[in-house]
Amino acid sequence: SEEKSLNFIEEIIENDLKSGKYETLVTRFPPEPNGYLHIGHAKAICLNFGLTQKYGGYTNLRFDDTNPVTEKTEYVNSQQEDIKWLGFEWKNELYASDYFGQLHKFAVTLIEKGLAYVDHSTAEEIALQKGTPTESGVDNVYRNRSVEENLDLFNRMKNGEFEDGACTLRAKIDMASPNMLMRDPIIYRIKHTPHHRTGNEWCIYPMYDFAHGQSDSIEGITHSICTLEYVSHRELYDWFIEKLEIFPSKQYEFARLNLTYTVMSKRKLLQLVNEKHVAGWDDPRMPTISGLRRRGYTPESIREFCERIGIAKRENLIELSLLEFCIREDLNKKANRVMAVLDPIKLVITNYPEGKDEILVGENNPEAEDKGGMREIPFSRELWIEREDFMEEPAKKWFRLAPGAMVRLKFAYIVQCDSFEKDANGEIKTIYCTYIPESKSGSDTSGINVKGTIHWVSAAHAKTATVRQYDRLFTVESPDAEEGDFKDYLNPKSMEVIENVYIEPHLAKANLSDGYQFIRKGYFCLDKDSTADHLVFNRVVSLKDSWKG
């Protein structure tokens, strides 16, 4: 097989393992349980778990749950389900909130070392004191409090003596640092809000920067991989570890995944859900893992997508069509072919006996190694065919049905169109044909050659279904980058619902996760809204490859 060049993180890891810096690689995937995971998270999951699959060691799942306001157990559960579904197993299930006691001790240690102080300034005052990147900040009156006073005040913060916002604990670093994050960052704030796991035990909570690196360190994470926004946080990450004299985890940054025609921040996805622009986090138009799953994406296709886009050091924008390419490739191998008529007109075979039917057999998947086995397809005198497969006045090179023309019915016989009938609105309603009994697929002795083959479903045997066809959720490539609100760019036609679609009867036994190719129409899968007598299918992706890679 083709030798793949290493990405920059693999290079670092290979060097660290070779030099003996670490014996065991330990990575983590650290979601905040404040929403459902999306395709960008899938990228980080594949990266972190993929590295320990390749180099040994293990990956932890750590919920970065330090902000009680936005976090919920529902999200913890969905995030776990999505990671498992993608095909990964974590070594330890951990919660930053389990470290609240230890993190509090770390804060006390900093105070004792004269490296943290309680500050009563308001957020606005702190912002002013910090200055601007080109102009150094100023120390305030709280900065030089004694250790004893700070210990006492921090203890009173913890004991709930102050209101939200009355004071904060800040690291005492450098108000003149060129890195604004090093200008005495807040490390603890007061929030009288119950936490999804610790309840009312705490009313002070650590800031992300004071929790993340220390959590990595507590767990012995060797390579803490995050996205580029955290480059400027690295100095602070290292500072805490150095001053606390704890295990030296190292942070490395890669470019986050950005995808065309969608948004990816959980905050924005939550707005789409709350304002009912979509039917929920798992709406098949959402870029969430649960949405993609419901849409009919497979774990393999998502992993393949993450593999193909690789690991970059600079921001970029990936085409949605690449994701579609990946599922199309996967379903081409896996999906059984079936017949479904989305816009039906009736075809009557006048020389086929009334009341008779026969069972034909069809290959499930010509692309599969075992052809996917065979299935039975009922055939009878009256069929549904696709409206677009008939032309009253055929164009040049029209090989489908037209008055006097012949066509093969897939898996069945050759028919010739003798006449047709319109309804009161002038729309084609019924087509009358004769069939050639000797032309049966697999045993054709008719000697007739036809160029066109069309799909059909026996009217007496067909099941009825609803089909939902999806388009991009937004009309512009980068809704985030446009002027005004990102929701102004929602695509009003992102879902087309087609009722009264006729499908082969055995599709009544379809399973939620099975992808099907509706011959000539696209890839589809059963939606969870289906009931025994009302089937609903999602179009996963069209048949045509529009990706120009």
266 is catalytic: yes
b (16+ CB within 10 A) / e for 259-289: bbbbbbebebbeebbeeeebbebbbbbbbbb
256: annotated active-site residue: yes
The reply on whether position 521 binds ligand ATP by CB under 6 A is no
Does 32 participate in catalysis according to the annotation? Answer: yes
Task: Give min distance, CB of 255 to ligand ATP, in A.
Answer: 8
Q: Residues 62, 189, 266, 400: which is the catalytic one?
A: 266
Q: Which is nearer to ligand ATP, 54 or 267 (CB)?
A: 267
Distances (CA, A) of 218 to 26, 62, 94, 249: 12, 12, 11, 9
CB of 416 to ligand ATP, least distance (A): 56
Q: How many binding residues for ligand ATP (CB under 6 A)?
A: 17
Residue (48 or 439) nearer to ligand ATP, CB: 48
Q: In sequence order, what E strands does 423-534 have? A: 428-435, 453-454, 456-458, 463-470, 495-503, 515-518, 522-526
Residue/partner pairs of 150-154 with CB below 8 Å, 24 or more apart = 150/111, 150/116, 150/117, 150/118, 151/108, 151/111, 151/112, 153/118, 154/107, 154/108, 154/111, 154/116, 154/118, 154/188
What are the residues whose beta carbons fall under 8 Å from the beta carbon of 431, sequence distance 6 or more? 345, 346, 347, 348, 385, 390, 401, 417, 419, 420, 421
Q: Can you tell me which of 256, 461, 472, 506 binds ligand ATP, judged by CB under 6 A?
A: 256
**Residue 223 binds ligand ATP (CB under 6 A):** no
Shortest gap between Cβ of 265 and ligand ATP (angstroms)?
4
**Near ligand ATP by CB under 6 A, which window of 40-48, 68-76, 242-250, 406-414?**
40-48
In terms of Cβ atoms closer than 10 Å to its own Cβ (0-12, 13-18, 19+), residue 246 is middle
CB-nearer residue toward ligand ATP: 63 or 516: 63
Q: Which is nearer to ligand ATP, 32 or 81 (CB)?
A: 32
Does 31 sit near ligand ATP (CB under 6 A)? yes
CA distances to 52, 343, 363, 369 from 372, rounded to whole Å, are 35, 27, 7, 7
List, in order, residues 6 or more apart from 453 with CB less than 8 Å away: 407, 408, 409, 410
User: Mask 265-284, x = binds ligand ATP (CB under 6 A)?
Assistant: xxx-----------------
Among 182, 257, 289, 311, binds ligand ATP (CB under 6 A): 257
Check residue 177 for interaction with ligand ATP (CB under 6 A): no
* 509 alpha-carbon distance from chain centroid: 27
Query: Which residues are part of a known binding site for ATP?
Result: 32-34, 38-44, 227, 256-257, 264-266
- 32 sits near ligand ATP (criterion: CB under 6 A): yes
Nearer to ligand ATP by Cβ, of 140 and 288: the residue is 288
Q: Please list the active-site residues.
A: 32, 256, 266
Residues forming the site for ligand ATP (CB under 6 A): 30-32, 35, 40-41, 43-44, 64, 226-227, 256-257, 264-267
